[in-house]
Amino acid sequence: MKKRQITLLAGAALLALGIAFVLTRSREPSHLGLTVSQWLDKLETGHSGDRRAAREALHAMGSNAAPFLIAMIAARDSSLKARLARQSILKYSYRPPSTRLRVVLEALGELNRPNAPADPALIELLNRPDRALTALGGFMALGVEDKAVYERALLHSNAGVRQTAAVALSRIQDGKRMRFTGMFTYGEPSPTGGFPRVVAGFGPSSRAEITPSAIVSILVDCATDPNPKTRLAAIQAFADFGMMFPADAEPALKAALTDNDSAVRRAATNALAKVIKPR
């Protein structure tokens, strides 16, 4: 009896998922009879000819494909779907969205165009700590050159987000094409169905892309902002980048040692130890 109940429940869940799947697929843009999802499969696992055809298809679909790809970035892994995929009574396959992030960002890069607008859905993702780095990758992949987006990200609590924003701001100042550089990777998805751990792969080659003058004035101004959270974020960013411009960083950090916020003072002490070499 219990096994039958489980089978019925699993069947009902699969039916609901199947209806949702059909409805979603019906709304997907398509090209040459294949949906965006199917072209993504070719872009990710196909041979060189398939990958070339996938890139051409994404170009052809253009901005029509962007909302769907951004929705894939925003989608949360489903623990229910993951459990259904593990059961043996009914056959059901499920691939968590988090495992496709890199190919989705690559696909967004095929839609890259100069001075692309900042998509509201990506701006919303930038507010979510577990998606901010991916949202920033989306902005860069699409070719967004809105300095306000990257200046905001420069003060993010996540060091990988700050570093990626610094590269973006440097590209804008240096007149280089905005693109997704693939400078970060993702860990394994959480067993509870949550978003995977983001692992920043930010090494010397990526640091070489940063132009100090693109970020120094932003951080100096923010270090004296009336909001203590903004001042703290600026000091934390100085710890990341201050060694590139110690002459500018040192006065700002020393001034922060007497800040009326204790968290800012502690952060300034720690940042000075990183930025200023013993004489």
Q: What is the DSSP code (8-state) at residue 102?
A: H
d(CA 260, CA 245): 25
Which residue did the predictor score with more confidence, 81 or 163? Answer: 163
Nearest CA to 106 out of 77, 129, 128, 73 is that of: 73
Q: Does residue 90 sit in the same domain as residue 228?
A: no
Cα-flanking dihedrals φ and ψ of residue 89, to 5°? -75, -45
165 and 48 in a single domain? The answer is yes
Which pLDDT band, with edges at 50, 70 and 90, does 89 fall under?
Answer: low
- Percent of the chain topping pLDDT 70: 71
Query: How many structural domains are present in the chain?
Result: 2
Domain end (from 161, 177, 210): 210
77 and 129 in a single domain? The answer is yes
Last residue in a domain, options 157, 188, 210? 210
Q: Which two three-digit tokens encode residue 164? A: 């990626």
* pLDDT tier at 190, thresholds 50, 70, 90: very low
Stretch 226-247: mean pLDDT, rounded? 93
**Domain's final residue, options 176, 192, 210:** 210
Q: How far is CA 160 from CA 102, 134, 153, 200, 207, in A?
A: 16, 10, 10, 5, 12
Q: Are residues 70 and 188 in the same domain?
A: yes
Give the pLDDT band (50/70/90) at residue 20: very low
19 and 98 assigned to the same domain: yes
Which CATH number characterizes residue 251's domain? 1.25.10
Place of tokens 């009326």: 260
Query: Lowest mean pLDDT: which of 76-90, 204-218, 242-256?
Result: 76-90
Please give the share of the chain, as a percent, with pLDDT higher than 90.
Answer: 39
Sequence-ordered alpha helix ranges (H) in the chain = 2-27, 36-45, 48-61, 66-74, 79-86, 101-109, 120-126, 132-142, 147-153, 159-174, 204-207, 216-222, 228-241, 246-256, 262-275
Over the stretch 22-32, which tens digit does the pLDDT of each residue have? Answer: 434 447 889 99
pLDDT tens digits, one per residue of 202-227: 444 466 788 999 999 999 999 999 99
pLDDT digits (tens, 9 = 90+) for 157-177: 888 889 889 989 999 999 988
Same domain, 183 and 278: no
Tell me which H or E stretch contains 184.
Answer: strand 184-186
Based on the fold, state whether residues 73 and 90 are members of the same structural domain: yes
Instruction: Give the phi and the psi of residue 275 in degrees, each rounded to 5.
Output: -85, -45
Question: Do 276 and 203 lie in a common domain?
Answer: no
State which residues form the domain around 147.
2-210
